[in-house]
């Protein structure tokens, strides 16, 4: 399968995963290993002053030497907070500049605030960040983010953490058809078939967290998601058969079927 | 030198009451009092009082955070790691000290 290129770097896995909501770092690590993901998101938060001396760090469980760490701006509701968070992230990660921008609109829906997202994207691109951006599935806004210079656009399939799946495949397809940068579904995937559908639509990748972390068996679900993304990608590349409405087509030869046994005379 | 490095980056703030300190001091006693006075830093939203002026690297050492995978912001502006030893903190500075955590 061909590689996914983001900001001119090749990745063999098209599944990107988050590291939130796991029981502990051991489970986080096991799930990420099972997912085969190479790009892994983290959040940036205040350190616990006074209690942090020997606290384990996510970057020890998921070392930047092995994974491409994608710091996000989850929890930011303004362009200013998002930009500040990613400046801190870049310093924290020794100048690593691939980031996930998300500016949220409200805590109930976690729907992206697109005006603020556009402002933040412009500023971050200006400062040399390589911005992968969480966005609404509006094709015009997705195109504007690409034109600003974002390296990937990541429309939601449905609300973050909802597991509702792909609610608007039509908009996703318009975004994919118009985009020159990778399009990844970010948020809303609930189970493996959702990930496969996203990939069959032609998405370049899928980013998920809760679908794996909130499964009864996160490690097994991570493995399922890996296969679903691969299967969906292969199906997309293979090109599905056209749908035939109201007309069947036999799979087996029509000729040469044995004749009905003659009824015996009574 | 420390002050110079600092003022280039962050404009000096008003003190916590929002009133500038008087420019002239009435007595030597007042000067001594000022020099010996404590100052307050807001660290991750919590005020902490320190006895004397200190740099970011001294603060991090005090908080047992030296060498940790952290990043520091002062009054909304990122402090580069290479400036930790020279960046002098001042009364009323608001600091954010962050780490990476699990998240999607």
Q: With H, G, I as helix, E, B as strand and everything else as coil, classify residue B35.
A: helix
Is residue A265's pLDDT more than 70? no
How far is the C-alpha of A76 from the C-alpha of A84, rounded, in Å?
A: 10
Q: What pLDDT band is residue B33 in, cutting at 50, 70 and 90?
A: low
Of A43, A53, A209, the CB nearest to B101: A43
Within 8 A by CB and 6+ apart from A88, the residues are A44, B71, B72, B73, B78, B96, B98
Place of tokens 């990937």: A152
- Which residues of A form the catalytic set? 100
Smallest CA–CA distance, residue B14 to chain A, in Å, is 23
DSSP B34: H
Within 8 A by CB and 6+ apart from A170, the residues are none
* CA-CA-CA-CA torsion sign (B68, A48, B63, B80): positive
- Inter-chain touch A84–B43, beta carbons under 8 Å: no
Is residue B9's pLDDT more than 70? no
CB A85 within 8 A of CB A44: yes
Average pLDDT, chain A: 95
Per residue in A186-204, is it b (16+ CB within 10 Å) or e — as a string? Answer: bbbbbebbbbbbbbbbbbb
Helical axes A79-92 vs A114-126, angle rounded to 10°: 40
- Inter-chain touch B102–A50, beta carbons under 8 Å: no
Of A21, A47, A74, the CB nearest to B70: A47
What are A230's two structure tokens?
Answer: 């691969």
Dihedrals phi, psi of B95, to nearest 5 degrees: -110, 140
Q: What's the pLDDT tens digit per position in A218-240?
A: 999 999 999 999 999 999 999 99
- Inter-chain touch A41–B46, beta carbons under 8 Å: no
CB A79 within 8 A of CB A103: yes
> If interface means Cβ-Cβ distance under 8 Å, which residues of chain B face chain A?
43-46, 63-65, 68-73, 76, 78, 80-81, 96-104
Smallest CA–CA distance, residue A99 to chain B, in Å, is 12
Is residue B16's pLDDT more than 90? no
- Inter-chain touch B63–A89, beta carbons under 8 Å: no
Q: With H, G, I as helix, E, B as strand and everything else as coil, classify residue B99.
A: strand
Q: What is the ipTM of this complex?
A: 0.88
User: Which chain A residues have a beta carbon less than 8 Å from that of B44?
Assistant: 46-47, 49
Q: Which of A74-78, A158-162, B61-65 ranks highest by mean pLDDT?
A: A74-78
Is residue A53's pLDDT more than 70? no
CB A210 within 8 A of CB A17: no
Number of H helices, E strands in chain B: 3, 5
How far is the C-alpha of A63 from the C-alpha of B22, rounded, in Å?
A: 52
Give the pairing type, strands A39-46 and B94-102. antiparallel
Q: What pLDDT band is residue A262 in, cutting at 50, 70 and 90?
A: confident
- Inter-chain touch A57–B99, beta carbons under 8 Å: yes
DSSP B25: -
Whole-structure pTM value? 0.85
Q: What's the pLDDT tens digit per position in A98-113?
A: 999 999 999 999 999 9
Of A58, A91, A93, the CB nearest to B101: A58
Q: What's the pLDDT tens digit per position in A155-212?
A: 999 999 899 999 999 999 999 999 999 999 999 999 999 999 999 999 999 999 999 9
Q: What's the pLDDT tens digit per position in A181-193?
A: 999 999 999 999 9
Give the pairing type, strands B77-79 and B71-74. antiparallel
Q: What pLDDT band is residue A260 in, cutting at 50, 70 and 90?
A: confident
- Inter-chain touch A20–B99, beta carbons under 8 Å: no
Q: What's the pLDDT tens digit per position in A127-156?
A: 999 999 999 999 999 999 999 999 999 999
């Amino acid at each position: 399968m061909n590689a996914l290129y983001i900001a001119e770097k090749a990745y063999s896995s098209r599944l990107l995963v988050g590291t939130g909501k796991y029981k502990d770092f051991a489970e986080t690590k096991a799930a990420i290993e099972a997912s085969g993901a190479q790009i892994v998101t983290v959040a940036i938060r205040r350190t616990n002053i006074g209690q942090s001396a020997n606290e384990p760090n996510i970057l020890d469980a998921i070392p930047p030497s092995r994974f491409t760490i994608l710091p996000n701006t989850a929890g930011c509701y303004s362009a200013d907070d998002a930009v500040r968070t990613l400046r801190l992230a870049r310093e924290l990660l020794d100048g690593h500049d691939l980031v996930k921008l998300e500016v949220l609109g409200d805590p109930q829906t976690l729907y992206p605030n697109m005006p603020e997202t556009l402002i933040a994207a412009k500023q971050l691109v200006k400062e040399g960040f390589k911005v992968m951006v969480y966005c609404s599935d509006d094709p015009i806004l997705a195109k504007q983010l690409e034109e600003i210079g974002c390296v990937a656009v990541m429309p939601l399939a449905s609300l973050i953490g909802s597991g509702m799946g792909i609610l608007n495949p039509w908009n996703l397809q318009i975004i994919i058809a118009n985009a020159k940068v990778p399009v990844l579904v970010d948020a809303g995937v609930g189970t493996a078939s959702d990930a496969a559908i996203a990939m069959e639509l032609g998405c370049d990748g899928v980013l998920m967290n809760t679908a794996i972390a909130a499964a009864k068996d996160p490690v097994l679900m991570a493995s399922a998601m890996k296969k679903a993304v691969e299967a969906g990608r292969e199906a997309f590349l293979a090109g599905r058969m056209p749908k035939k409405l109201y007309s069947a087509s036999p799979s087996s030869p029509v000729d040469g079927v044995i004749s009905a046994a003659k009824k015996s005379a009574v | 030198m420390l002050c110079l490095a600092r003022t280039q980056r962050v404009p000096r703030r008003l003190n916590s009451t929002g009133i500038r300190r008087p420019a002239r001091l009435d007595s030597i006693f007042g000067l001594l009092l000022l020099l010996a006075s404590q100052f307050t830093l807001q660290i991750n939203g919590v005020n902490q009082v320190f006895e004397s002026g200190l740099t970011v690297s001294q603060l991090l050492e005090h908080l047992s955070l030296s060498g940790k995978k952290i990043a520091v912001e002062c009054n909304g502006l990122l402090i580069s790691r290479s400036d930790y030893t020279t960046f002098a903190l001042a009364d009323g500075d608001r600091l954010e000290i962050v780490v990476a955590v699990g998240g999607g």
